[in-house]
Amino acid sequence: MTDNQTFKDKVVVITGGSGGVGRATAWEFAKQGAKVVVLARGQEQLDGTKKEIEQYGGKALCIPTDVANPDAVEAAAEQAEREFGPIDVWINNAMNSVFAPFKEIKPEEFKRVTEVTYLGQVYGTMSALKRMLPRNKGVIIFVGSALAYRGIPLQSAYCGSKHGIQGLFDSLRTELMHDKTNVKICMVQLPAMNTTQFGWVLSKLPNKPRPMGKVYQPEVAAKAIVFAAANPRREVWVGYPTYEAIIGNKIAPWYADWVLSRTGFKGQQTNQKASPNRKNNVWEPVPEDRGAHGNFKDISHNKSFTLWAGMHRTAMRIAAGAAVIGLIALLGGNKD
């Protein structure tokens, strides 16, 4: 677990930290007095995030960065250490997506999503390790998704990128274990989140896009990421839908295929027609600040019992053991 001083004066870098999960995560670290470095493209969003970090008690450094550019990521890492000191935690969170059937996605669009969502995490990890390995300390968080294990229709580029991140994570983890380094990595797998991406994503669907299934507020993911930074287990799964998707796909992927082919198209669209003039942030940031939350507050959950249970595994094991002992005692007493 973490207390409210765990990351005091620690240097935390968050890519894609000016919106959605990244922005909410910046708040959580700021509440502990961390030095938060936010990498994102949009100046309006960066300015808003900087103000919030400082209001929550943290120090903020916001650097306009396109994570698809490795030189820009490296320059941002250099600036972060020059102004704030050695990086303690690096969070790979930046993402992009195209909502459309695969047959309607242009090669350059697919490439762009891959460069931001997958290669952005590659480049961030390279810059973080370059600094952490010589010091033999530090934590890198990969922000993943249930979609890293189970692809869904209409998000082939995003799902492919998250699958790639999972493979990268597995490979790198074994290398770090082999080298016996104290640099730790963890992957946080998220469910559907109520973030601004659904208002900014490039969509070729007839209706406005929406998160599918059970939806959580970004603060839930933020708490999981902060926990993972303090307790870098192999993975942290957030929300029951994540467990359902990952475990269910391992048991019966054919069933998931069948269900998603029937529900995945309608389930990712609202009943509202999309505007033909809708802005998107695939190539350039949308010049406005929408904060961290999307437009689905009414269906979003503020808590996750499965996340709480995962963060309190010892207590859950003790409770389970006590329940078993009590059941055995009850059954034994009935024999008399």
Quick one: DSSP state of residue 147? G
Helices (H) and strands (E) in the chain, counts: 12, 14
The total number of residues shown for the chain amounts to 336
Q: Quick one: which of 180, 90, 72, 83 has its CA closest to 130?
A: 90
Amino acid at 65: T
Instruction: Locate all alpha helices (DSSP H) within 14-151, ordered by sequence.
Output: 20-31, 43-55, 70-84, 107-114, 120-135
Q: Which residue is listed with tokens 């208002």?
A: 199
Active site residue 118: no
Pairing of strands 202-203, 184-189: unpaired
Phi, psi of 52 (to 5 degrees): -65, -40
> CA quadruple 135, 139, 143, 148: dihedral positive or negative?
positive
Residue among 56, 158, 240, 243 flagged as catalytic: 158
Q: Quick one: which of 333, 22, 335 has its CA closest to 190?
A: 22
Catalytic residues: 158
